[in-house]
Chain A
């Protein structure tokens, strides 16, 4: 049998060493290609009509004007009349067009009527008594348990105790199996008590999870020498990676090129140049360009590429970094 084990420290030549990334030269010199650099022949650009309301029902959608616009290749209704929308920004209609401005124009030409519903965007402490006790489970809830790696025996007992909102279809069972449900869990789902009346009730915004107890906390608290009580919170933040822009060498003239909204980025940055920065603020010119190739013309060579890249990447991903002072 060949020896697949990792070589020990004396027999390694590279593993464990400090090695510079092989893709570093391409990235710092602006030669690396990002999604934004890809321009395929006949490529279409997508834009989405999004819900302006946090909670609403879609009443009607009229895409007739958008369909007639030149350059529009496809219109797809993502959530049609009758759909309930649960957050502002959710997809309603998607448009594909020959370029971005055309797609934007088409989105503006789409007419959607909504019936607004009351929304909740707070995550403050649930009012006393507001929380729904755990009830019959949905297939989604069971899938969530699999995602959260709840042990199979615990899943079986929860399913047996709470039952299901509706009978699981073969498709549901196959999906759960693919997601890692054991045979015992699948059997518990097949034989679970059904509570179809529950799905008819509007769900509460607050759902209690099962309380968990280990040992005897009451006795332990009573016997403790010191008890500390407090409340801490971690507010919701967005998910995408943050990015710190690079240092600037001394005072170049810099052109910022943005394919989307130069107006928004232009006034922010010079005004917020850190006063204690070791580098003088760059001077700015702002040009709205229509393609990445155009911007390459203005600042030629690797320096231009570098700034173009770092700015495009910087603005797209992170926005300006400025001192609070």
Chain B
């Protein structure tokens, strides 16, 4: 089985990669989209004052 890897995917905000698996005839058997990125805002805003959270989570995406 042949594999085409697109890494990184581009012209968007964030990280991603795509693996495309092709069978012997060159037809697409399956495609996997992966996001290799995690920062954990959900966790590290815990304990921060509510009024500070907008400034923190604005750094989730700056694009």
Same complex origin of A and B: no
Chain A residues with a Cβ under 8 A of chain B: none
